[in-house]
Amino acid sequence: MTSPSQDGPSPQAGQSPFGETRTRVAATHALIAPDSHVPQPLLGWQGGEGVVLVSPAMRGGGPRFTQYLVRGAEGCRTGGASAGVERLVYVLEGVATLDGKPLAADHFAWLPPDEAYNLAAPEGSSLLVFEKRYEPLSGVAPPARTVGSLADAPAGAFLGDPDAMLATLLPVEPGFDMAVNVFTFQPGAALPFVETHVMEHGLYMKQGQGVYRLDESWYPVAAGDAIWMASYCPQWFTAMGKSPATYIYYKDIHRDPL
Ligand code: UGY
Ligand code: MN
């Protein structure tokens, strides 16, 4: 058996030996493929690490929110987000606990700003987190903590297409200034037109594959990919392959863009 030092460094499974990646960070959008992840300690979390997929640190300071993955580990926990910041935590794998109660895969918790809690992500769990500075709305109280599951979320055919099912995790109420939805497309189904809108998106491909149009580029995308779409970034998706494609996505809603 030859030692690695004799052979030189070799790429990990799924990585190109020629410095190629599907990752691209552009002015109006970004695609972050798993082969370019660099785990790091996360601010406000103890005992674990994660990957910040989308943040205002991106090109042009574009995103107005943060999207990151947490890899669970022994002792990995958080007591809350930074002051004034709301969180949506979606369990991708394993079982997390929120104040001692289990939060299993495909369950989520929306946590209001400035609320203390004990959220633990043990070994074997992984979390998708969206964070945003909560924007209060005059005369409307911030919502209370909201816990639920994908299975119990209201879902319906998107613009009448039963092959494109949209589940909305959070109540559509003005108190919420973010929405997090789960879209499932049967193979061959697509967004019916190229959307262009003021809301920005953060997206995580949960399963399957397809092609995402972002601005003037078309990208092959697959499970594990993350996407940022700036306000007004033209966007379109079609699912490919033999199994459904599902993505979880964030958007900002219910606030004056002025
Ligand atoms: O809610 C949305 O804007 C959604 N239809 N966009 C998307 O899937 N890119
Ligand atoms: Mn959209």
Return the ligand 1 atom nearest residue 229 CA: 9
Indicate the domain borders of the chain.
Answer: 21-252
CA distances from 69 to 93, 112, 219 (A): 11, 19, 22
13 CA distance to ligand 1 centroid (A)?
32
Q: Which amino acid is at 22?
A: R
Whether the per-residue pLDDT at 240 is higher than 60: the answer is yes
Residues with CB under 6 A from ligand 1: 183, 191, 195, 201, 235, 249, 251
SS3 59: helix
Q: Which of 161, 169, 191, 227 to mutate to test the pocket of ligand 1 (most atoms within 8 A of CB)?
A: 191
Could you say which ligand is closest to the alpha carbon of residue 231?
A: 2
Torsion of CA 9, 15, 18, 22, to 10 degrees: -150
CA distances from 88 to 13, 113, 183, 215, 216 (A): 31, 11, 17, 27, 30
Residues 6+ apart with CB under 8 A from 255: 135, 137, 177
Q: Which of 28, 166, 183 to mutate to test the pocket of ligand 1 (most atoms within 8 A of CB)?
A: 183
Q: How confident is the model at residue 215 (pLDDT cuts 50, 70, 90)?
A: very high
pLDDT 10s digits, 15-57: 889 999 999 999 999 999 999 999 999 999 999 899 999 999 9
Distance from chain centroid for Cα 46: 21
Q: Is 25 exposed, middle or buried (0-12, 13-18, 19+ CB in 10 A)?
A: middle
Q: Is the ipTM above a cut-off of 0.95?
A: yes
Q: Which of 195, 198, 211, 254 to mutate to test the pocket of ligand 1 (most atoms within 8 A of CB)?
A: 195
Rounded Cα distance, 203 and 31, in Å: 9
Return the ligand 1 atom nearest residue 181 CA: 1
Return the ligand 1 atom nearest residue 158 CA: 5
The answer for 89, left when phi > 0, alpha when psi is -120 to 50, beta otherwise, is beta
Rounded Cα distance, 137 and 18, in Å: 51
pLDDT for res 110: 98
Whether the per-residue pLDDT at 1 is higher than 60: the answer is no
Q: Options 2.60.120.10, 3.50.50.60, 3.90.79.10, 3.90.1150.10; which CATH number does 21-252 get?
A: 2.60.120.10
Return the ligand 1 atom nearest residue 236 CA: 9
Across 124-144, average pLDDT: 97
pLDDT for res 7: 52
pLDDT for res 191: 98
